[in-house]
Amino acid sequence: MAKRVIRFGSRKSELAVRQTHLVMDAVARAHPELDIELVTMETSGDRNMKPFSEASDKFGIKGLFTQEIEEALRSGAIDVAVHSLKDMPTAVSPDLPLVACPLRGDPRDVLVLPERGRGAWENGPVGCSSARRRLQLAGLFPGVVTAPVRGNVNTRLRKLDAGDFSALVLAAAGLARLGLERRIARYFEINELVPAPGQGILVCQGRAGEDYSYLDSVRDRNTELCGETERAFSAELGGGCTAPVGAFAEIKNDSITITGFCADESGDHLRRGSVCGKTADNVKLAVDLARQLAGRNKE
């Protein structure tokens, strides 16, 4: 009997492919009766290298990294897609639900310095595109000069080593998955740079009504709850790729702690806060924290 074929969809970048293979390999080990295939594609976000700050639709930016992959899911060209959760729009189409999250990677941001000629990086420019990183970095190092940087991880590292930047701020998980931990000069703790919602989390997206029980072999329920919590915080604040919003959730026993960050577009009013409560109340806790930090009354 022929094996059932499961086609996993991914962006073409080296990091995206490696992340997809993490899921594929785990499924293949648990389900040798399946034939696992990889399908890669280029997305609009890969082709458009303009800084996020120049986008005409700032809250639609995340869809640039998922649109073509979602079209492939709908057409049946692939059976399941693997994304970085932080790249996913907060509003997901009901026909293409998020169906599983593996165990989370390191959620922290890190500082990366050039391989040679390391100097006083605080004098900049430091490459970081998101307002979330830029504003929090300025709070840690007053006077730091930042500049936007786009491209995949290796492209950014080449720009750094060529002298375009004195340092970069990147996600620890991406560097680790590429085997580039040696490039990390400093880990920023959660209370220093609150990560992007979903940072370090991979997510599988599928078609509504289909059987994805084979993903039980990679599913981590606590990671799924943390991702749901962080996205609820971001959604309440209208968070997108350019919005200065950060969130991190951590579960211990039956309690969840949520740390949030937000600012207005001018960057004049930075707010951080945290809340702890029952895991079952995760979404309500996240929404209440978002409203508190935004200065809105609870409804």
User: What is the CATH number for 267?
Assistant: 3.30.160.40
Whether residue 255 sits in one domain with residue 166: no
Whether residue 24 sits in one domain with residue 90: yes
In a domain, 12, yes or no: yes
Half-sphere exposure in the Cβ direction for 33 (13 Å, CA): 2
In a domain, 19, yes or no: yes
Whether residue 137 sits in one domain with residue 60: no
Whether residue 69 sits in one domain with residue 27: yes
Q: Report the alpha-carbon distance of residue 80 to residue 97 in Å, rounded.
A: 10
Q: Collect all residues with Cβ–Cβ distance below 8 Å to 200 and sequence separation of at least 6.
A: 104, 105, 106, 107, 108, 171, 172, 173
- Of 26, 27, 36, give the one whose Cα is nearest residue 5: 36
Sorting pLDDT into bands at 50, 70 and 90, what band is 120?
A: confident
- Of 221, 181, 216, 223, give the one whose Cα is nearest residue 202: 223
* Phi and psi at residue 204, to the nearest 5°: -100, 130
Whether residue 215 sits in one domain with residue 226: no
Active site residue 87: yes
How many angstroms separate the first and last alpha carbons of the chain?
58
Reduced to 3 states (helix: H, G, I; strand: E, B; else coil), residue 34 is strand
Strand pairing of 98-100 and 202-205?
A: antiparallel
What is the pLDDT averaged over residues 145-174? 95
Confidence (pLDDT) at 63: 58
Whether residue 151 sits in one domain with residue 16: no
- Count of CB atoms situated within 10 Å of the CB of 181: 12
List pLDDT tens digits, range 260-276. Answer: 999 987 777 889 999 99
In a domain, 66, yes or no: yes
What is the pLDDT averaged over residues 199-218? 97
List pLDDT tens digits, range 25-38. Answer: 999 999 999 999 99
Annotated catalytic residue, options 25, 35, 87, 216: 87
- Can you give the residue range of the structural domain that contains 162? 109-187
In a domain, 238, yes or no: yes
* Phi and psi at residue 177, to the nearest 5°: -70, -20
In a domain, 155, yes or no: yes
Among 111-120, 130-139, 170-179, 202-211, the minimum mean pLDDT is found in 111-120
In a domain, 193, yes or no: no
Whether residue 116 sits in one domain with residue 46: no
Confidence (pLDDT) at 43: 72
Res 101 pLDDT > 60:
yes
User: What is the CATH number for 206?
Assistant: 3.40.190.10
In a domain, 194, yes or no: no
Q: Report the alpha-carbon distance of residue 171 to residue 65 in Å, rounded.
A: 17
Q: Report the alpha-carbon distance of residue 78 to residue 99 in Å, rounded.
A: 15
Helix/strand/coil percent split, the chain, to 5: 35, 25, 40
Q: Report the alpha-carbon distance of residue 291 to residue 175 in Å, rounded.
A: 33
Whether residue 31 sits in one domain with residue 152: no
Number of domains the chain is built from: 3
Whether residue 206 sits in one domain with residue 98: yes
Whether residue 80 sits in one domain with residue 175: no
Half-sphere exposure in the Cβ direction for 264 (13 Å, CA): 5
Model-level pTM? 0.90
Res 61 pLDDT > 70:
no
Sorting pLDDT into bands at 50, 70 and 90, what band is 12?
A: very high
Whether residue 86 sits in one domain with residue 225: no
Whether residue 299 sits in one domain with residue 237: yes
In a domain, 265, yes or no: yes
Confidence (pLDDT) at 299: 47
